[in-house]
Amino acid sequence: MPSQSLILWRTQARTAFDQIEHAHRAMGGPGPGRPYTTLHINHAYVVLLSSHFQRFCRDLHTEAIFHLWKHDTSPRRDILKFNLQLHRQLDSRNPSPSAIGADFNRFDLSFWDLVKQNAPALGARRQALLEDLNRWRNAIAHQDFSSHGLHPAGPLLRLIRQWRAACNALASRFDFVLRHHLATMTGVSPW
Amino acid sequence: MPAKKKKKIAIGDIVNVQLGRTAWKARIVEDRGHFRIAGGRIYRVALLDDNLDEPMFTEVVESEITSPAR
């Protein structure tokens, strides 16, 4: 059974992405205004994808903390919970590989190394795609493309779909890595 | 006499939370929703401490909220 975070990613987030895809298709046709309209749909899609992935990562982090908290009966458990949450990057920053690594490494593991362990080249490719997605997200959110070396006419739908596929694969892998790690730590599978 | 209905926690409420041995006054800043693993709703709170320049945030499950502070 997957984590609650992964279930939400596969249901709520997927529905939101499918609705954007639908809106994109609804703008179909070779009309003169289409490229301009789909440009903004693409921009909305990028921000939506990044924000839902941030929510997934935050939720998974919270689930992991509360699993440890629940299975620790010592008086230290509140201290542990408090410090695992303190200044968590995913509460305020984009879900960049760096922010994700900084927050999940707090669970005493080298998170990205384990994420990439089963397929290093593919894992590295997905990590790079996530970095790309967040670069675009920042450029769109701040309407500042030049300092990111980007052009507002991009990204194309094809590229966004690649990012979405990478996020899907990473979400499943994050869930797997953390489940195994937490089960080793506590002797109980968290989900 | 009918039992008093428990007040629903809302964003902006000032509450008391018990973290370890310390009782904090805190402001609810986000309802994170129901988390099965925690056995209840989780709230993100800002711990209120006049000695701090910046607020400290943490997440608590509803059972850790001992009482509304107002």
AA identity, residue A150:
L
User: What are the φ and ψ backbone dihedral angles of A121, each rounded to 5 degrees?
Assistant: -70, -45
Q: What are A39's two structure tokens?
A: 């440009």
CB contact under 8 Å between A66 and B58, yes or no, is: no
Q: Nearest by CB to A66, which of B20, B37, B44?
A: B37
- Å from B19 to nearest chain A CA? 6
Closest by CA position to A162, among listed A46, A65, A68: A46
Name the one residue in this structure whose structure tokens are 């968590």: A88
With beta carbons less than 8 A apart as the criterion, state whether A134 and A95 touch.
Answer: yes
- For the stretch A131-153, pLDDT in tens is 999 999 999 999 999 888 888 88
Cα–Cα dist B44/A79, whole Å = 16
- Å from A80 to nearest chain B CA? 10
User: How many beta carbons lie within 10 A of that of residue A117, not counting itself?
Assistant: 12
Mean pLDDT of B23-46: 95
H helices present in A33-119, as ranges:
34-70, 77-85, 97-104, 111-116
How high is the ipTM of this complex? 0.87
CB contacts of A81 in chain B (<8 Å) are 58
Does A144 contact B at CB distance below 8 Å?
A: no
- For the stretch A39-56, pLDDT in tens is 889 999 999 999 999 999
Q: Nearest by CB to B35, which of A4, A75, A79?
A: A4
What pLDDT score was predicted for residue A38? 86
pTM (two decimals): 0.93
Does A65 contact B at CB distance below 8 Å?
A: yes
- Å from B32 to nearest chain A CA? 8
Cα–Cα dist B8/A184, whole Å = 37
Does A70 contact B at CB distance below 8 Å?
A: yes
What pLDDT score was predicted for residue B70? 46
Question: Considering chain B, what is the average pLDDT of its residues?
Answer: 87
Question: Considering chain A, what is the average pLDDT of its residues?
Answer: 93
Q: Nearest by CB to B37, which of A63, A78, A85?
A: A63
Mean pLDDT of A20-27: 88
| Those residues with Cβ within 8 angstroms of residue B9's Cβ, 6 or more apart along the chain or in another chain | B15, B28, B31, B41, B43, B62, B65, B68
Name the one residue in this structure whose structure tokens are 């059972």: B63
